[in-house]
Structure 1
C-alpha cells in the first residue's frame, strides 16, 4: 500500500468541501466546529490550512460567510463528461475500456456511464481479488490482452491522493501510462499537494502526468468524427 492512511490535510479538505456543497453559505466558525468534532484528540488542523482550502474552493459573501464558487460547482458536473470523452477516445484507439464501478451509475446525456464499458466485468491477469477490486474503482482504464495500458483519474479535489493509491496496485514495471485529469483552475491545488512528501513520492514514482479538462475536450472534438485514433497521436493528449 502506497499510503498507510489518507493524509490529515486531505481528510480536512473533504470535510470542508462537504460543508460547502451541502450548505448555501457557512461561517468560518461553523467549519471549525465541524472539524473539531470530526478530528478530536489533537488532530485538529491549523486554521491557516483551513483558510487555504476555503480560498481554493469558496468565496466570501457580504455577511462574512463562505459560499462554494459557482465555477467549481460547474466543474463538478463535468466529471461524467470527461469520462465519456476518455471512453470514446480509448475505443477509437483500439483499446478495451473500463469505467470505474462507482462512476458507472453516473450519467452523461441521459446515458449511464456503464454503457461505455467494453465488458461487463473487468478481466485482468496477475492480480489478487482485492487488488482487482481496487483497480476496478479507477475512473477509466484502457486495456488489451488483460494488461492495463492507460489509467485516467478524473478529479476535482482531495480524492487525487486516493486515486494515486488505487492505481498503485498496478506495479510500475507494467509501464502503464497514468494521467490525472483536472480543471485548469485546480492546477494550484495539485501543486500544493506536491509539497506533501507522500503525495510527491507516489506521483513521481509512477510517472503521473496531468491533463486539463479543456485540453481533453479540445482533443476529443478534434477526433470525434474519426472512426479510429492512431495511438502515436495519444502523446498529444496532455
Structure 2
C-alpha cells in the first residue's frame, strides 16, 4: 500500500495549485481562522444558552461561523449546506426542537472547552445517540477548527477520495462511518508523517484532491475518461483562475497594509502588522520593516492576544493602547475579519478604538449587508466602519501630510446604521 500511495502523495505535494499549497501550506487566512471560529462558536453557545439563538440558520450566529469556515478555500466549499434549515423536511432539527438545540449547544461547549480526545469522542457518541434528524458528521468541519490534530474535515469529495484510495464504502451521513474513516486517516497520517503533517488538514486535502478528480489513479481513471474529462479541465481552469486571483488579492492586501502603516507612522502612532505578513512586500518595501518587531504586552488573556496579533494592521499610542485596528478584506475573508474586530472590541475595555474594514470597491454592498447584521447594530456594540481601497489609495498622501490623529479617517470611512 505504501509504495502505491507515495507517488500520489508526491504528485499532491508537487502540484502548486493543489489545496496543499493554495490552502494548507501557504494560506495565512487558514491560520487566522482557528481562533476566529472558536470565538464565533462561543457566541453560538451563549445564544443557545440564553434562548436567543432563533429558529433559522439565516441570521443566527451559527451562520456567521459556517461562513467563516466556508471561506477556507475549496476543501470547505458547501460546508454550510448541512446546516441550512429545510422547513419541508424539518432538518436539521436544532431550530424548532428546544431539547435538540440545547443538546447541540452543550456538545459545542464541551468540545470547545476540552483538549482531550476521549472527551470529544464521548460527546460525539452522546450526540449520535440522540439521533437528531439531519445533524450528522458535517459537524466534523467545526471540530477540525477546534482540534485540527485529532479530527479531519468531512465532505463528499473527501469521502469519495478515501473510498477510492482504500476500497471502502464509507457513507456521508453516519457518525460511526466518520469515526471509522478518521481512525484510518490517523493511522495513514502516522505512517506518512514526514510527508503530511500533524495537522489533519494536509491528509484531508489529499483525499479531497483524489475525490475531486485532480489526482488520477487506477480506481478513478475509467470514470475520468468516460465522464470527467471536460469537467476536470473546467475544474483545472477554475483552480488556475482562483490561484491567479489569490496572487492579485495578496498584492492588493499588502498594498493596503503598506498605506495603513505609513499613515499610522505619519500620525505619530506605533504600528503593528500581522505577524504572518512581516515578510510580505509591496513596491519593494518589506512590511515587517514598517512594523514593531513584536506586539507590546496587552492587558488581555493570551488567547485574545494571539488573535490580536493576526489583525492586519494596528495603531498603538505611547501607552500601548490600541487606537485603531484594520482588517483588509479579500474575496475570502469578510466574515472572519468582522469576527476578529468584534472579538477585539469585546476585549478592549473602557477606551474607544476605531475598528475598520478596508474593502475592495466591488464588495461594498456585501460589506454593508454584513455590517447591518442585528448583532453588530446593538447599542452596546461599537460600530465597525469601512474604507474602500480606492479612497485609501488616493487619499493616503493627503492624510499623511495634513492629519494629526486617527480622526482623519472619518473623512473617508463609512458606518452602517444610526449612531
Give your verdict on TM over 0.5.
Answer: yes
Can you give the 5+ residue segments of structure 2 that lack an aligned partner in the other structure?
A: 1-37, 43-63, 78-153, 160-171, 175-232, 414-419
SS at match of 1:3: helix
Alignment correspondent of 1:7: 65
Higher strand share: 1
Aligned counterparts of 1:215 and 1:17: Cα–Cα separation in 2: 34
- Aligned residue for 1:91, secondary structure, equals helix
Of structures 1 and 2, the larger Rg is shown by 2
CA RMSD of aligned residues (A): 3.3
Looking at structure 2, the residues matched to 18 and 2 of structure 1 have their Cα atoms a distance apart, in angstroms, of 19
Q: Which runs of 5+ in 1 are unaligned?
A: 20-33, 43-62
Which deviations, in whole Å up to 9, do the C-alpha atoms of 1:25-59 show, x marking residues without a partner?
A: xxxxxxxxx963359549xxxxxxxxxxxxxxxxx
> Please, what TM-score do these two structures have when normalized by structure 1?
0.69
Structure number with the bigger relative contact order (C-alpha 8 A, sep ≥ 6) is 1
* Distance in 2, Cα, partners of 1:101 & 1:155: 17
Instruction: Report if the CA contact (8 A) 1:151-1:176 is conserved.
Output: yes
Deviation of residue 192 (structure 1)? 4.9
Cα offset, 1:177, TM superposition: 0.7
Task: Tell me the number of residue pairs that the alignment of Structure 1 and Structure 2 aligns.
Answer: 198
Structure 1 position 164, deviation (Å): 2.8
Alignment of 1:1-238 (within 5 A): 2-4=39-41, 7-16=65-74, 36-37=156-157, 41=173, 67=238, 68=241, 74-117=248-291, 119-144=292-317, 145-167=319-341, 168-169=343-344, 170-171=347-348, 173-193=350-370, 201-202=375-376, 205-223=381-399, 226=401, 229-231=403-405, 232-238=407-413
Alpha-carbon distance change, 104 to 194 in structure 1, aligned in 2, over 3 angstroms: same
Contact 2:371–2:384, Cα closer than 8 Å, also in 1: no
Q: Contact 2:257–2:313 at 8 Å: present in 1 too? A: yes
